Amino acid sequence: MKKRIAIIGIASGWGAPDQRTANGAHVVIHHLKQHYPDLFYTYASYHLPVPLPSTATKPLQDHAIRQFHVTRVVTELSHHIETLVSLGYFPIVIGGDHSIAIGTWSGIKRAYNTDFSLLWFDAHMDAHTYETTTSLSPHGMPVAALLGQGIKAWTDLACKDSPVMAAEHLYQFGIRSFEAGEASLLAKNNVSIYDTKTCMRTELKPILQSVMQNLRTEKFGISIDIDAFDPIFAPGTGTTEPNGLNPNDIVSFLTEIKDSPHYVALELMEFNPDKDIDDKTLHWIIKFIETLI
């Protein structure tokens, strides 16, 4: 059955040192509206109309202000997702930095009130808390928050004192840059991690097929950080890492699963159009979305 799509643009770069990732949602939606004007669109901007900083201190000196804004973003998005799902929409969330994922998947949990699996494509684990990170960047924390670790305003979005999802339902692909604190958290919780060496040695397609055949939940979602891909394909992201995934493999995978009634949401994060080259990154983001429309 064809899905009823809602494109949700979230223009927030509060979780990233380079806040220009907030510009990504506008660029993607502007392109989509030219080719698919009949889709349902919503857009929320969380920055004043001033130039966004491309650099920041590390650790972030304004981390308290950023935490305030991230909390506002994810809280509003969580309720928005819940409402759209109740109206029968399939959400495609376009960021913005990856801290937005806290809102996306909290909203999915609120909407369905059941366990779901999450396939997370990323160069990084994103499983820090303020106690384990040296940068204090919230875009490195969404996985920890979804697993119930970190800021209480983030961990309690779906249900008070209960994590959004269980660690055994999380699968990460393309990991190739991480720090000891977040690796320890995921290892302790037995999260399934397929780094790029594994994906290249075994090939991504059979790995994904095996994961899908062995999901422990009925429902599943997809979270894609653009830095999961090799910069030769997708240079337009905040933190590029060499030796990444090939986006063709993801297009093929998304095409195979597009009609599944158990597929509940897609999010595309960390697109920074200011760093894109000849719209290479935009091209792939549109291809990912077109697997559904």
Q: Supply the pLDDT for residue 199.
A: 84
Q: Which domain holds residue 205?
A: 5-290
Is this structure's pTM higher than 0.95?
yes
Total count of domains within the chain: 1
Query: Is 169 in contact with 233 (CB distance < 8 Å)?
Result: no
Q: Within the chain, which residues score under 70 in pLDDT?
A: 1
Query: Is 247 in contact with 234 (CB distance < 8 Å)?
Result: yes
3-state DSSP percent of the chain in helix, strand and coil, to 5: 45, 20, 40
Q: Supply the pLDDT for residue 187.
A: 93
Give the CA distances from residue 65 to residues 13, 68, 69, 157, 260, in Å, rounded to whole numbers and listed in that order: 12, 5, 6, 19, 40
For the chain, how far is it from start to end, CA to CA, in angstroms? 12
Q: Supply the pLDDT for residue 1.
A: 64
* Helix (H), strand (E), coil (C) string for 207-272: HHHHHHHCCCCCEEEEEEEHHHECCCCCCCECCCCCCCECHHHHHHHHHHHCCCCCEEEEEEECEC
d(CA 227, CA 225): 5
Q: 74: which 2 tokens? A: 């994810």
d(CA 166, CA 185): 13
pLDDT digit string, tens, across residues 28-68: 999 999 999 999 999 999 998 778 989 899 899 999 999 99
Q: Supply the pLDDT for residue 188.
A: 93
Q: Supply the pLDDT for residue 60.
A: 93
Residue type, 41: Y
Instruction: Give me the CATH number covering residue 165.
Output: 3.40.800.10
Q: Supply the pLDDT for residue 161.
A: 84
